């Protein structure tokens, strides 16, 4: 009987999610099969060793908390090489230069060739990132860098949603999915993980990933529940699915509750404003609707001591800039 993983930290960082996912050897191999199949022509991923890539931290060399180094074998020969995985969650102008720098630094430390692989997981901008860096200094010298750059937001999700590959299904959450595809990513990730009898750690990592990157609305939650219950009745091995989607359902309820409470607090703040400074509602209303819960509460308290509409608008202007 499969163990149901406990929900982990509800707000893990981007790097935490990437590292937890790729630190599972089974998911790492599936990742390469889905997104870098050419690497399997020379890499023996039956031999995997995760290496500590940290170097002494200095002011000019920050800790690379999102990176992973994986040592494997080259065509089954004793000599090994490293695969350098770097995760980015925002655009970087010096992307390839940094990847090359890290690869060379790791190569010097471990005396092994390093293949950098860059993962781009941000949603904007969607323009293509460079994959090669070439500096030629006539016949005197040359520096050439070429490495895989995987920008998930630019990928077509359909082949991955139909792949049956758990890593591809989970990582499809980073792609541009419509509402139905978001539900399908969750359903198929769960279903294939159970069909393939993944270990609890692998299942946990995949669930955390799709839960973080596929926030569902009320209609999607109902659709998810219907699909999961149907599949759990059709295949005995999928019987745990209704229990496994509980964190998605609870997270959706929490999100709806938080949004509803914020709307109520905004309406109350507007009601107070209309009673005290009715002439300021037209200008202040749009600003109030953008304030978070804490700012709305602070506004309600500050409003009690305000004497003019100008003072009210000035307070909102300052809070908007903060």
pLDDT in tens, 218-270: 788 878 888 888 998 889 999 988 888 877 666 544 444 445 455 666 777 77
Which pLDDT band, with edges at 50, 70 and 90, does 91 fall under?
low
Each residue's pLDDT tens digit, 101-147: 988 998 899 888 888 888 888 777 777 888 898 999 999 999 998 99
Least confident of 40-44, 63-67, 223-227, 248-252: 248-252
| Distance from C-alpha of 175 to C-alpha of 307, rounded to nearest angstrom | 51
| Distance from C-alpha of 319 to C-alpha of 149, rounded to nearest angstrom | 40
pTM for this model (two decimals): 0.70
Which pLDDT band, with edges at 50, 70 and 90, does 8 fall under?
very low
- Greatest mean pLDDT among 88-92, 188-192, 216-220: 188-192
Contacts with 116 (C-beta within 8 Å, 6 or more apart), sequence order: 84, 86, 99, 100, 102, 103, 147
* Mean per-residue pLDDT over the chain, rounded: 81
| Distance from C-alpha of 73 to C-alpha of 125, rounded to nearest angstrom | 36
C-alpha to C-alpha distances, 258 to 145, 262, 263, 293, nearest whole angstrom: 47, 6, 9, 9
Least confident of 1-5, 76-80, 188-192: 1-5
For position 4, what pLDDT does the model report?
A: 44
| Distance from C-alpha of 83 to C-alpha of 42, rounded to nearest angstrom | 12
| Distance from C-alpha of 261 to C-alpha of 56, rounded to nearest angstrom | 47
Residues paired with 120 in a beta bridge = 88, 151
For position 310, what pLDDT does the model report?
A: 86
Return the percentage of the chain with pLDDT > 70, whole number: 80
Return the percentage of the chain with pLDDT > 90, whole number: 27
């Amino acid at each position: 009987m499969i163990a149901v993983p406990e929900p982990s930290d509800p707000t893990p960082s981007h790097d935490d999610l990437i590292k937890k996912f790729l630190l599972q050897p089974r998911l790492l191999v599936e990742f390469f099969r889905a997104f870098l199949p050419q690497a399997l022509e020379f890499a023996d991923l039956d031999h995997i060793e995760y290496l500590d890539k940290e170097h002494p931290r200095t002011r000019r060399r920050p800790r690379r908390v999102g990176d992973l180094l994986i040592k494997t074998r080259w065509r089954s020969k004793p000599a090994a090489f490293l695969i350098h995985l770097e995760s980015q969650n925002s655009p970087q102008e010096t992307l390839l230069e940094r990847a090359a720098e890290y690869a060379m630094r790791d190569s010097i430390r471990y005396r092994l060739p390093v293949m950098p692989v860059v993962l781009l997981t941000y949603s904007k901008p969607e323009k293509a990132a460079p994959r090669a860096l070439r500096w030629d200094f006539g016949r005197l010298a040359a520096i050439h860098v070429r490495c895989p750059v995987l920008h998930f937001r630019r990928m077509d999700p359909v082949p991955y949603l139909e792949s049956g590959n758990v890593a591809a299904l989970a990582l499809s959450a980073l792609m541009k999915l419509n509402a139905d595809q978001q539900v399908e990513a969750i359903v198929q990730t769960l279903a294939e993980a159970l069909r393939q009898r993944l270990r609890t750690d692998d299942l946990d990592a995949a669930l955390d990933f799709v839960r973080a990157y596929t926030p569902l609305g009320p209609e999607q939650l109902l659709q998810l529940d219907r699909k999961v219950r149907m599949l759990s009745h059709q295949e005995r091995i999928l019987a745990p699915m209704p229990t496994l989607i509980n964190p998605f359902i609870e997270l959706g309820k929490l999100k709806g509750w938080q949004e509803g409470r914020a709307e109520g607090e905004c309406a109350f703040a507007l009601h107070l404003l209309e009673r005290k400074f009715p002439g300021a509602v037209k200008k202040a209303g749009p600003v109030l609707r953008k304030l978070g819960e804490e700012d709305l509460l602070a506004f309600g308290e500050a409003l009690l001591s305000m004497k003019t509409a100008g003072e009210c608008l000035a307070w909102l202007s300052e809070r908007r800039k903060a």
